[in-house]
Structure formats: structure tokens, C-alpha cells
Structure 1
């Protein structure tokens, strides 16, 4: 079994990174919903005597509507808690509600600016710059949202300054354009760095999982190796002992395996071992543990299984495997197995020893057969 290192083009990696960024966006931008309304209220209080009240009330009502929409979206998100890639279905509604609120700010302040004196215009424009900086801080996970929200907030007033304002306002408009360009470029760089960090996290996690798998998995057959078999086996034996459940073990050995290697080559021998492992996997229950103990020898630990049940299971497997020729390197090879079965207490080393003795007897009495610990005792008596 080959374990290639994780690659950038793994299927779904880009989507997982986008989903992680959107999850982060929902988490970190929640305060912005209320900040927008609070700043709007403060601005209205500041310019109440300067601008028509009906204009301010209408604009504030629009901001309140956007706040309600955004709050409803965040409330629904927290209630449903979309997991994994499901969050990507929430991106469009996030962007739509954000653009509604930012456009309300941009167009509304433009109308207010047109009715204000120079000092108040400068104050209002400074607040817009602060709002656009907030967009950079809160929405940098999605550069298009930063660009869109900054353009919605700043561009209407900036364009009016550039083409219809006083010289000082024209200068502010030019500075604001450079300000937007710098922040948009910075948000793109920040988003790219964040994306790479998420990718690196996935790569490290995948590498760790594969390293752990390689440490516990037999490379040729994909079964547990000897170390993993004993680790899981000890846990399973302790569980059966606590619950007074029968526990059986079967030792399986491929017959005449050296002859197969000598006659057909090691590639065919490897194919025989893989086929044997595949059939063992197919016969496993979820609770069973199966591993390659070394060479052509395998072991199965069978919880809640009596000796008679284990022998019946082993005999079915023995017949099934013998009736299934193995195709390797274009060569069909018939192979059989010998199996020793034991069920005597919960000491794993002792069980394996008993099953190994039964396996030795199975091979000594003709192979392609199953011998249980009880049969072995009778033969030795």
C-alpha cells in the first residue's frame, strides 16, 4: 500500500479551504453588524442640526433594515450551524446582505455630504474611511467582499469629491482612491496567506494521519501489523474479560508459500498474500481484529466467539479460500491455508501460543485444514 504525500491538487482541498475561510468570516464579522448601526446613530446625532431630519431618519431606517437582515442571517447560521462544505451555500446570502448595508452607507452618506458644510463633510468622510478600514479587518477572508464593500462605502462620496468638490475635497478623493487600492491589495495578500495556512494545516494533518497509519498498517496487505494487532488485541481481550464474553483466536498460514515464491516469483507471492488478506477482510465482523504477524502468517481475534463458532468460521474460510485461485502476474495460482484455533482465557500471548500449536498440528497432518485447541489436546493425549 503506497502512501503518497498530500498534494495541493487533492480533490476538494480548495473547497475545504474556502469553507474554512467562510466559517471564520461568519465568526469574526458578527460584531460588525452592530458596529455599523452604532456608528450610524452617532453620526446622525453629530449632524442632526446640519442635515434635514427626514433624510437622516430615512437613511437610518435603511441602515436598521440592513442590520436586521444581517442579524437574522447570523442568527440563522448559529441556529443551523452548517458543517463542512455546507457553509459554502451561505456565501451568496452573506455577500448580498453585506452589499445592501454598505451601499446604504455609501449612497446615504453621499446625500448627507451634499447638504453639509465643509467641516462636517470632512468628518463624514473620515467616518467613511473608518468604515472601509473595518471592512478590511472583518472581511479579509474574501477579497472580493473587501473590494465590494469598500467601493460601496467610499466610491460614491469619493467620485463626488473628485468631480464636484472643493480643492481640498479633490485631494481627499485622490487619497481615498489610493487608500482603497492599498487595502484591497493587502486583503488579497492576507487572504492568500490565510489560504496557504489552511492548506498547510490540512497537509500536516494528512501527513500525520498517514504516518500513524503506516506505523500501524502492514504495507503489503493493508491489514494491521503485529504491533497494532497486539495493541488492539489487548484492549479487546480486556473488554471481553470485563464482560465475561468468550474470546477466540485463529492463526492462519498460507500453505507451501516458499514453493510459490520459488516457482512463480515474489510478485506472484505478494499477490497471493494480498488475496489472502482481502478475503480475511471480507470475512471480518466490525468487532474482529485481524493482522499480519509476519511472512505468510496472519491472526484473527474473535470477540464473543466460542471455540466451536471460531472453528466453524475458520472451516468456511478455509474451503472458500481453497476454491478461489489467485491471479498474479498473469499466472493463476491455487493456494490453501492451514488454520489453528484456540479459546482459552483472556491472555493474548497464551491464546496466540495455543493457536500457534494448533496451527503447527494442522500443517503437520496434511495442511488445508483447521485444528482447534481441543483437537490438539486430543491428538497429544
Structure 2
């Protein structure tokens, strides 16, 4: 995978993380704004009779409607997440739209219900607006534009209203609110950037760990499982076969006269031989089989749910394909190779472990070599 592709994948993952965190942190903020608005409306209902009761009720009804809309959006997002595939950009736009409606209702509604003659009403309302704006910072930090949107729509209506009031104190309070809005927005920007960097670093570390783990379990030259990975998988497969009484066979393979190839043509040609033999194995085994390079020129296969006949058939197919490989060398010559195979079958009544099973296949492999090479021999199972 190219660096550009990796960067694009990381960027997409970070965007998904941002959107998921944005929606995950929203319920408390939605309920908090509803509670704060209800308290503010109740206080104006009790203490400032000059404020229209109809206006207060209408404002609270609009706020409740916005709350229901935002929770419906959260439910739709969860359903989209359950499918495992969603467009982050689309859901950010949806979130921004519902937030803009809700914040506008609460912010503009605060201006509508505030008493234009009572300073205490104005102070209480400013505290409400500042609280809503401040709560946007920890709630919407995952996305700085959303944070700015929530803060601005919640606080700027009351701030601008105060700026155009006749008393100097009102103008000062309005100006202080705008200064708070600017400084809080700058802080939210830094916080959001730090969070995005943390998301990206997390995914980079996860990817590095996956690559390191894969490298530790993969043979560098052939791309097959190395000895450690093969034995780990083989142990798991054997336990399953024994527990569920399933047949299983092991196949050991060794390239004939491989040392002669290295001595005659060099290790680079020898590496090419190993690579092409590994490709033959990779294309012939089933998806449920495991295959690995467990030594210099020695390979092993473990075949679950396979009879001895199945294992011998597969081994002979691989043997035939290896025999047909043609290797060219720089001086214009070419050569072919052969391979020998040993097959063993699991004997659960003997309490076999993976080591015994592979050792039995290895003995059959030596029989094939002693019998002339380029053949498949079977280790006969003992009677129960």
C-alpha cells in the first residue's frame, strides 16, 4: 500500500472517530440544554410577569421539538453505524443542521423572553447563554466547526442584543460575552486539533502493531507463515479436530537437491526457487488449510477435514506443478526441480500432539527421499 493510500485511510478513520465521538457525547448536551432552557423559562414565568406567558410556552415547545429532532437523528446515526458503513461527511452535515436549529431556538429564544427593563433578568439570561456556549466546548470538541457553530448560535444573539442596549453596563456585558466567545473558540480549536492528532496517532500505532505482528508471523522471502505462526495455528486446528472428532492430515514437503541448486546457481536463484514453490503451494491449498515454510527448503501443510486420499491427491498435484517449473539462469541455461512429500493422518486415540503428527509426516518424507525422491509417501496409522 502506497503512502498516499495509507494517509487517506488514516484520514478516513480519524473522520469516522470524530463523527462517532460527536454523536456519542451529544445526549447529555441535548438534555442539558433542555433542562437549562426549562429552568430559565420557569424563572421568567415566576419573577417577571411582564414577559409574555405565551412566548415562554412557545419557546419551550420549540425547544422540546428540537430535542426530539436531535434524538431522532442520534437514533438514525446508530442504525447507520450498525450497518458498519456510513459517510462521515454526510452525518456531520446532518448534525450541523440539527444543531443550528436547536442552538438558534435556545439562543434567539433567550433574547425573546428576557425582560428588557430588569437587569437581573438580563444577568440570569446571560449566565444561561454563557453556560450553553461553554458546554459546547467539551461536547463538540471532536469537530471544531461544530463547536464554533454551537457556541456562536447560543451566545451571540444575547451578546449582540446587549451591545445595542442604552445602558453602558449592558454594552460592557455584551462585549465581554463576545470576547469570551472569541477566546473560547480559539481554545476549542486547539483542543480539537489535539484530539484529532490523538486519533491519528492511535490509528498509526495500531497499524504499526499489526504490521509488526504480521512480520513476526510471516516468512519474509515466501510470504507464507513462518515456523512459529504455522505451529501456533496448527495447535489450534488440532485441538478443534480432536474435540469435534474431525479428520486431519499433515503434509511435509522438501525440495530435492536444493543445496545443489544453491551451490551451482547461487543463493539468488535458490531464493527464486523457494518463492515460486511457495506460490504453487499458495494456489493449490484450500482456504481452510494452513501452509508454512518451517525450514530452509522444507514446507508443511495441515489439512483439516481431509482424508489420507485427499492429502495424497493434493500432495501429488503440488509435486506435479513443482516438477513443471522451469528456472532460467543468467548464462542462458535453465533447470527444473522436484520435491518429495510425506503424509500422516491424525490418530486421536493415541493422544497425538502436533509435534507427533508432523514428526510422522517427516518420517514419511524421508521414506519418499530414500525411495527415489519426487514422490509422495504415507505414514501408515497404527491400529487403535
Assess, with a 3 A threshold, how the Cα gap between structure 1 residues 165 and 105 changes in structure 2: closer, same or farther. farther
Please say if 1:257 is aligned against 2:258.
yes
Q: Tell me how large the CA RMSD over aligned residues is.
A: 2.8
* Alignment gaps of 5+ in structure 1: none
Match of 1:177 in 2: 178
Match of 1:367 in 2: 373
CA distance in 1, matches of 2:164, 2:329: 80
Between 1:127-136 and 1:104-113, the stretch displaced more is 104-113
CA distance in 2, matches of 1:243, 1:91: 49
Match of 1:65 in 2: 65
Deviations 1:188-245 (CA, angstroms, capped at 9, x unpaired):
1111211222222222222222232222221211212112222222232233233333
Deviations 1:83-107 (CA, angstroms, capped at 9, x unpaired):
6551614222111111001111222
Match of 2:274 in 1: 273
Match of 1:339 in 2: 341
**8 Å contact kept, 1:13–1:199:** yes
Match of 1:19 among 4, 16, 19: 16
Deviations 1:337-380 (CA, angstroms, capped at 9, x unpaired):
221222262443333223223222323343322222259x9xxx
CA distance in 2, matches of 1:165, 1:257: 97
Deviations 1:158-214 (CA, angstroms, capped at 9, x unpaired):
223224442112111221122111211111111121122222222222222223222
**8 Å contact kept, 1:248–1:343:** yes
Between 1:144-153 and 1:343-352, the stretch displaced more is 343-352
Assess, with a 3 A threshold, how the Cα gap between structure 1 residues 242 and 131 changes in structure 2: closer, same or farther. closer
Return the TM-score normalized by structure 2.
0.87
**8 Å contact kept, 2:219–2:225:** yes
SS of equivalent to 1:351 = helix
Where do 1:300-315 residues align within 5 Å? 300-315=301-316
Q: CA deviation at 1:318?
A: 0.9
Q: CA deviation at 1:9?
A: 4.9
Return the TM-score normalized by structure 1.
0.88
* Alignment gaps of 5+ in structure 2: none
SS of equivalent to 1:173 = helix
CA distance in 2, matches of 1:59, 1:329: 86
Between 1:60-69 and 1:356-365, the stretch displaced more is 356-365
